[in-house]
Structure 1
Amino acid sequence: MNLKISLIMATLNRKIEVKKMLNSLSKQTYKNFEVIIVDQNEDNFLEEIIDSFNDLDIKHIRIKKKGLSLARNIGLKYINGEIVGFPDDDCQYQADTLEGVIKFFYDNKEVGAVTGTVIRNINEKKGNKVVFVDKYSIWKKGISFTMFFRKSVIDQIGQFDEVLGVGSGTPFGSGEETDYMLRVIERKIPFCNTNRILVYHPDEQWDNPDIYKKIYSYTKGRIYVLKKHKYSPLYILGSRCFSIVKLLRYFYDGKKRKRYYYEFKGKL
Structure 2
Amino acid sequence: MKRFSLILCTINRDQVVREYFESLVRQQDPPSFEVILIDQNKDDRLLPIVADFENRFPIRRYTATPGLSHARNVGLNYAEGEIIAFPDDDCTYPETLLKSVSDYLSAEHIDGVSTLVTDPHGRLSAGFMYRSSRRISSRNVWNCGVSISIFVKRQAIGDIRFDESLGVGSGTVYGSGEETDFLLNLLKERKLLDFCPDIVVNHPVFFGPWTVKRGYLYGNGMGRVLRKHHYTVFRGFYSVLLQCIRALMALGTLNFPRMNFHLAMAYGRLVGYFRKYP
**Cα distance 1:35–1:74, how it changes in 2: closer, same or farther (>3 A)?**
same
Q: Provide, for residues 114-139 of structure 1, a one-character-per-residue CA deviation record: whole Å limited to 9, x for no partner.
A: 10010212689xxx953101112110
2:139 alignment partner AA: Y
Q: 1:151 aligns with which of 147, 150, 154?
A: 154
Calculate the TM-score normalised by the size of structure 2.
0.88
Give the share of equivalent positions with the same residue, in percent: 33
2:225 alignment partner AA: V
Equivalent residue number for residue 244 of structure 2: 244
The CA deviation at 1:262 is 1.5
Tell me, in whole angstroms, the C-alpha distance in 1 between the residues paired with 2:248 and 2:206.
Answer: 23
Tell me, in whole angstroms, the C-alpha distance in 2 between the residues paired with 1:90 and 1:187.
Answer: 31
The CA deviation at 1:168 is 0.3
1:99 alignment partner AA: K
The CA deviation at 1:97 is 0.3
The question of whether the paired residues in 2 share the 8 Å contact of 1:94 and 1:122 is answered with no
Q: Provide, for residues 165-204 of structure 1, a one-character-per-residue CA deviation record: whole Å limited to 9, x for no partner.
A: 1000000111111000001112221110002321000011
Tell me, in whole angstroms, the C-alpha distance in 1 between the residues paired with 2:31 and 2:230.
Answer: 41
Pairing 1:212-231 to 2, within 5 Å after superposition: 212-231=212-231
The answer on 1:265 being equivalent to 2:264 is: no
Tell me, in whole angstroms, the C-alpha distance in 1 between the residues paired with 2:267 and 2:246.
Answer: 13
SS of equivalent residue, structure 1 residue 250? helix
Pairing 1:140-219 to 2, within 5 Å after superposition: 140-155=143-158, 157-206=159-208, 208=209, 211-219=211-219
Equivalent residue number for residue 139 of structure 1: 142
The answer on 1:67 being equivalent to 2:70 is: no
**Cα distance 1:240–1:123, how it changes in 2: closer, same or farther (>3 A)?**
closer
The question of whether the paired residues in 2 share the 8 Å contact of 1:12 and 1:40 is answered with yes
2:5 alignment partner AA: S
2:167 alignment partner AA: G
Tell me, in whole angstroms, the C-alpha distance in 2 between the residues paired with 1:259 and 1:184.
Answer: 31
| Runs of 4+ displaced beyond 6 Å | none
Calculate the TM-score normalised by the size of structure 1.
0.91
Tell me, in whole angstroms, the C-alpha distance in 1 between the residues paired with 2:66 and 2:91.
Answer: 20
The CA deviation at 1:228 is 0.2
The question of whether the paired residues in 1 share the 8 Å contact of 2:247 and 2:262 is answered with yes
Pairing 1:113-128 to 2, within 5 Å after superposition: 113-121=112-120
The CA deviation at 1:26 is 1.2
The answer on 1:83 being equivalent to 2:86 is: no
Structure 1 runs not aligned, ≥5 long: none
Pairing 1:39-58 to 2, within 5 Å after superposition: 39-53=39-53, 54-58=55-59
Q: Provide, for residues 18-70 of structure 1, a one-character-per-residue CA deviation record: whole Å limited to 9, x for no partner.
A: 0100100111120400000100001211111111112111001112x210010
1:245 alignment partner AA: I
SS of equivalent residue, structure 1 residue 216? helix
Structure 2 runs not aligned, ≥5 long: 124-130, 271-278
SS of equivalent residue, structure 1 residue 230? coil
1:212 alignment partner AA: V
1:258 alignment partner AA: N
The question of whether the paired residues in 2 share the 8 Å contact of 1:94 and 1:123 is answered with no
Pairing 1:96-115 to 2, within 5 Å after superposition: 96-106=96-106, 108-115=107-114
Equivalent residue number for residue 16 of structure 1: 15
1:246 alignment partner AA: R
